[in-house]
Amino acid sequence: MDGNLRRTAGAGPPTGRSGAGRRRLAHPGAAAAGAMAVLLLAGCSSDGAKDDGLPPEPGQRPKSVTPFWVNPDSKAARQMSAYRKDDNAADARLANKIASQPVAEWIGVDDPRGEARGFTEAAAKAGREALLVLYNIPHRDCGSYSQGGAADGNAYRAWLDGVLGGIGDRPTTVILEPDALPHIADKCTPQKFQEERYALLTEAVGKLKSLPHTKVYLDAGNPHWIKDPGRMVEPLKRAGIDRADGFALNISNYQTTAENTKYGKQLSAMVGGKRFVIDTSRNGNGPAPGGDDPENWCNPPGRALGTPPTAKTADPLIADYLWIKRPGESDGTCKGGPKAGAWWPSYALGLARGAK
């Protein structure tokens, strides 16, 4: 899509195909149980950089800045730990720019209940909120890098029920099915699959909102993918935006925060004043120049980390700036990258090096 993302469910979040507006995502690689174990080991280790110039192991961000959990066993944290062991202070500090921030966890397909429970329990023990991405809708990503998803509607419902059981009553924010609605708006998803998709998303919103402490945001693309926000109104309404907490923009993409803010405010006015979140994980330098590259959304060089995750957005309509796409994970096998969702150390360092 010219304004999409791509991700890999079960293996990694989507990525960002579709030219200027797409994205790619990749699922979390760390097992939930491992994340909890490391959390217990790393709980008191964030008092500042050491005299040797090496950064500390990741700790939690102040709740006044962001309520979301920092996973001490993330891919970025593991990479930083490897650099620390090698006394590579320069690269450790760069990796720490990612490892020290709360990044969304993409729930895989094999053990949705166990992963959701592991992440939410670890977050709750740290006094924080889990940020999860559900990316398993049937026929996802229109056959591109993150193609796949549940085999059919019943398989999706069973997977979702596992996620619901894993979340329980723990505070959680869910980004629901990136690309699913924008792919309807841009006609990438065939008509024959659309009614089922709306039904599954409506059910998912309802079930997630029936949990006592769960927020839900539906994906609404980005301003360079679905250029007219009015095209997202019917898809959002048919998917249950009235019950959801709001919508998400720029997932796995590089469009600027300013452009997403303008677009989001226009769309919000059309769907009852709903709030929205913006993925700022890789938009620090904005999008790559278009040129003649039809995949300028896929692993573009010269990009940078954007605004760190925070609830301090200075705008009542913007609920949070979030890192939904996991910085450092590939968009797909383009421009020398590994498969979608795989950790790519050199790309991660480039994003961190370019951050303002």
Looking only at the bridges linking them, the beta strands covering 214-219 and 4-8 are unpaired
141 is catalytic: yes
Cβ-proximal residues to 220 (8 Å cutoff; 6+ apart), any chain: 181, 182, 226, 229, 232, 236, 247, 248, 249, 264, 267, 276
| Half-sphere exposure at residue 267, Cβ-oriented, CA atoms within 13 angstroms | 33
Residue 317: C-alpha distances to residues 67, 102, 227, 263, 264 (Å): 18, 21, 20, 12, 9
Neighbours of 294 (CB within 10 A): 12
Residue located via tokens 């059309």 = 270
CB 138 within 8 A of CB 156: yes
**What is the rounded distance in angstroms from the CA atom of residue 80 to the CA atom of residue 76?**
6
- How far is it, in rounded angstroms, from Cα 249 to Cα 54? 35
| Catalytic, out of 141, 186, 219, 320 | 141
Q: Are 186 and 223 in contact (CB under 8 A)?
A: no
Which among 179, 219, 245, 279 is annotated as catalytic? 179
Asked about 292 being catalytic, the answer comes back as no
- Residue 223 is given by DSSP the state T
Q: Which of 73, 186, 245, 331 is catalytic?
A: 331
Q: Give which of 27, 131, 117 is closest to 75, Cα–Cα.
A: 27
The Cα 342–Cα 340 span in angstroms is 6
Tell me which residues are annotated as active site: 141, 179, 331
